[in-house]
């Protein structure tokens, strides 16, 4: 099994944390998605990370599809349930994860579009400001939910998808926009992200 990854992508990190919590600890194969690495080109038509190449050569792409594959192939109770185990819990976890994913998408979109628009900064355009609003509102909504998200660990002590995505968002925002005055103070979200660093899945996958 080979995980084509980079060291910054929040999507890669969602997949890596989920894989480690499900007992798959493989050293990622670091590639630069922007230089058309042939391994990534052949495995993924979109040339994006993460891409997980299984032992039979099948390539899994899209972070949430990798999580779906993990849930199906390593189900509870032997493995932690990442999206919850009963319908109401699943609904709550997915709803909260969606808030974080919307903000992650806005965040990555801003970073990627800067590559296109430089030296004119995308951030101050109408679409850029809309993406910023998504990041701010997403973080503020998660700040209100952070304590509850922190309580909803699975029976193995593993974080569920909502906590994984909220933590990945928080750390990515600090990594990319830590010096920006518009980044909202989110002390509860910060506490959640820092508390989860006791998990090797979280501490060993910090962006750099
Ligand atoms: N929806 C995808 C997004 C993956 C993605 O956009 N990865 C970025 C890195 S953060 C990438 O590889 N970008 C290269 C490109 O867009 O060409 C997922 O969830 O895995």
CA of 128 to the centre of ligand 1 (A): 18
Instruction: Note the pTM of the prediction, 2 decimals.
Output: 0.96
Token pair recorded at residue 188 = 């509860």
For tokens 């798959």, the residue is 24
Domains of the chain are 2-73 (3.40.30.10), 87-199 (1.20.1050.10)
Most informative mutation of 36, 49, 68 for ligand 1 (most atoms within 8 A of CB):
49
Atom of ligand 1 nearest to the CA of 66: 20
What is the spatial order of strands in the sheet that 59-61 belongs to? 29-30, 2-5, 51-53, 59-61
pLDDT tens across 10-37, in order?
Answer: 999 999 999 999 999 999 999 999 999 9
pLDDT tens across 108-158, in order?
Answer: 999 999 888 776 789 989 999 999 999 999 999 999 999 999 987 776 789
Residue 99: CA count within 13 A, CB half-sphere? 23
Ligand 1 site residues, Cβ closer than 6 angstroms? 9, 11, 33, 47-50, 62-64, 108
CA of 155 to the centre of ligand 1 (A): 31
CB contact at 8 A, 5 and 204: no
């Amino acid at each position: 099994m080979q995980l084509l990854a980079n060291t910054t992508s929040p999507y890669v990190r969602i997949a890596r944390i989920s894989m480690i919590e499900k007992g798959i600890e493989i050293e990622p194969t670091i590639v630069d998605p922007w230089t058309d690495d042939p391994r990534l080109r052949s495995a993924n038509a979109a040339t994006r990370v993460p891409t997980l190449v299984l032992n039979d050569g099948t390539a899994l792409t899209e972070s949430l599809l990798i999580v779906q594959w993990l849930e199906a192939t390593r189900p509870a109770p032997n493995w932690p349930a990442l999206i919850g185990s009963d319908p109401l819990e699943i609904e709550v976890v997915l709803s909260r994860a969606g808030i974080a994913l919307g903000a992650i998408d806005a965040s990555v979109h801003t970073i990627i579009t800067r590559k296109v628009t430089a030296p004119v900064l995308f951030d101050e355009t109408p679409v850029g400001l809309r993406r910023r609003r998504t990041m701010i509102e997403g973080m503020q909504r998660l700040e209100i939910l952070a304590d509850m998200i922190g309580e909803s660990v699975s029976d193995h002590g593993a974080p569920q998808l909502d906590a994984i995505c909220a933590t990945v968002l928080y750390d990515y925002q600090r990594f990319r926009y830590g010096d920006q005055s518009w980044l909202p103070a989110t002390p509860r979200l910060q506490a959640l992200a820092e508390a989860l660093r006791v998990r090797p899945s979280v501490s060993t996958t910090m962006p750099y």
